[in-house]
Amino acid sequence: MTGVKRYVVKILIGSLALLGIISTHGFGADADPFCGPVKVKKVTRITHPAYTAGNQFLNKMVPWNPDYSRMLIFENTFSHPSTHVVGKGYCWGYLKDLTHWTTQSEYEQARKPLPSQDWIKFCVFWSPFPGEENVVYGVRRTKKDVVSVNLDTGEVTSILTLDPGAGADITKGQGYGWSKNKTLIIGLVEHSAAADVLEVDVRNKTQKRFKPVTSSHMWDSDEALANFTHFPRGGNHGDTSGSGKWFFQYRGLAPENANEKRTKGGAWSLTERGASVYVPDGKHFIEDQWRTVGVVSLSFAHYADRWLMGVDLGRPSQPVGPAISTYTFCQIMFYPDHKPNFVYRPILKHKSATAWYESAAGQYDQKNSGAHLNYHSLCKLKVRRDGRQFVYVGTDGKYSWQDYLDRKMEPWDNNGMFLVDVEPDSEDASAGAVPFSSDLRLVTAGKDTTSPTPSK
């Protein structure tokens, strides 16, 4: 694998233009964000195929540093029997180096392991403070402390030891990122936004424990609303816009009362596999439903409040046996003041391994269906806050290494991290946009003939 050249994926670009006019916004240092329709410029695999990339960068962790000159990546830390390499965990590199290597040796020089790998889950964050573009913060599992890491010098500085209080174990928690006040939020229970969190002021070296308000109770009081908007929202099924005005959340199956009312904010329709967008000030509420098979991941362009990116699972049903799906990436434009509220613009397709099951019970009975989730192959994405790039993790049109182990499926591929560069789409093809009511599942798994084969 030493001589394997970097993958540059030739992509299928949708020349679909936006219905309507989007005004630009000024956002200071990150001025000139992409606020209108975009198209894909190029896709680059930035991790070498000899290593297995991990999808740590959903909406809680951000791979880019504040000036976009560096990126974090993650290599799974096991010894790979086919390539005889050992992943280094969290690494960083200059963007110019990660996008221009041609050999395994050049890649290994471009990516630099962090000096510490002893982190709790999802808890390595670029500094939000000016002048610290080379610094990350995180929580060490063994010492239970918050540290800063100077990536240029390798210096690790302990800031304070965490004391979450009775009944909490910080080693079982996870990072949630920076609040609006640039305090670090650390969850005390993994994957539970309703559990208590610690709020750490890394500058003043203080910490406090509080319980975040969930979306179900955000309208209960002004205090609850302030709590909700202060807490960094994110996850692979939802995200908050850069201004903090909008929160988009993908919802699962509806409760029995699917038209539940709130005292503020108007009607709340929890439709099956629906998605809701709402503004926390309670003055507007807009809703819609993603009508495809399912949404894997959603992420805002954080300085472009007019759109976010989503990726569809691309499969018609829960497959029995290993399968390769075609994932469709859509730029989702939304309009608070007129219908349709949403316009979906497919801009990229990518083939990757998908979750599969031993029986037709599928995801609704994972315990008895023999679930093989292939979690790191599902093309979950993260958008750069100025809207100019996004990343996702998946295989390069092949089965996963796990599929090979389970069923000897070939050809297989280590999961890779792919970087997508986008540019403004200036075409004025009004017939090209896809209204929300249309079916966006453009392909059926295993039968898509339009996606090109990646070139080496």
By residue range, what is the domain housing residue 309? 1-65+233-456
Mean pLDDT of 175-203: 85
Angle 201-229-141 from CA coordinates, rounded to 5°: 40
Q: Which helix (H) or strand (E) holds 96?
A: helix 95-98
Could you give the count of Cα atoms lying within 13 Å of 342 in the half-sphere of its Cβ? Answer: 25
Last residue of a domain, one of 152, 183, 212: 212
Q: Is 205 domain-assigned?
A: yes
Please classify residue 206 by burial: count the beta carbons closer than 10 Å to its beta carbon, then call 0-12 exposed, 13-18 middle and 19+ buried: exposed
- Do both 329 and 436 map to the same domain? yes
| C-alpha count within 13 angstroms, C-beta hemisphere, residue 380 | 23
Separation in Å, CA 340 to CA 122, 240, 277 = 36, 21, 13
Give the predicted TM-score (pTM) of the model. 0.81
Residues 193, 272 within the same domain: no
Mean pLDDT computed over 28-55: 82
Closest CA to 107 of 1, 258, 255, 242: 1
Structural domain includes residue 225: no
Do 414 and 351 belong to one domain? yes
Please check whether residues 42 and 125 belong to one and the same domain.
Answer: no
| 104 within a domain of the structure (yes/no) | no
Query: Does one domain contain both 322 and 241?
Result: yes
* pLDDT above 70: percentage of residues in the chain: 64
* Percent of all residues in the chain with a pLDDT value above 90, rounded to a whole number: 37
242 plus 206 within the same structural domain:
no
C-beta of residue 124 within 8 angstroms of C-beta of residue 175: yes
Q: What is the pLDDT of residue 14?
A: 29
Per-residue confidence (pLDDT) for residue 192, from 0 to 100: 62
Which segment of 103-112, 359-368, 434-443 scores lowest on mean pLDDT? 434-443
How confident is the model over 286-296, as pLDDT tens digits?
554 443 334 55
- Residues 242, 189: one domain? no
Q: Are residues 312 and 195 in the same domain?
A: no
pLDDT confidence of 142, banded at 50, 70, 90?
Answer: very high
Do residue 189 and residue 260 come from a single domain? no
Other CB atoms closer than 10 Å to residue 226's CB: what's the count?
14
Q: Single out the residue of 91, 5, 11 nearest to residue 48, CA to CA.
A: 5
Selected residue with higher pLDDT from 436 and 118: 118
Task: Answer whether residue 348 is part of any domain.
Answer: yes
pLDDT, tens digit, for every residue of 379-392? 988 888 888 999 99
452 is a domain residue: yes
Measured CA angle at 402 (ends 141, 328), to 5 deg: 95
pLDDT at 150 over 90: yes
Query: What is the C-alpha separation between 207 and 27, in angstroms, rounded?
Result: 31
Residues 189 and 324 in one domain: no
Specify if 106 maps to a domain: no
Is residue 103 domain-resident? no
Query: What is the tens place of the pLDDT at every residue in 93-128?
Result: 999 999 999 999 999 999 999 998 899 988 999 999
Token pair, residue 353, equals: 């391994």
Pick from 448, 418, 174: nearest CA to 316: 448
**Residue 70: inside a domain:** no
pLDDT value, residue 449: 27
Domains identified in the chain, total number: 2
Q: What pLDDT, on the 0 to 100 scale, is given for residue 116?
A: 85
326 lies in the same domain as 378: yes
Q: Could you give the count of Cα atoms lying within 13 Å of 131 in the half-sphere of its Cβ?
A: 0
124 and 262 part of one domain: no
Here the CATH number for the domain that contains residue 137 is: 2.40.10
Which of 356, 355, 383, 359 is closest to 369 using CA atoms? 359
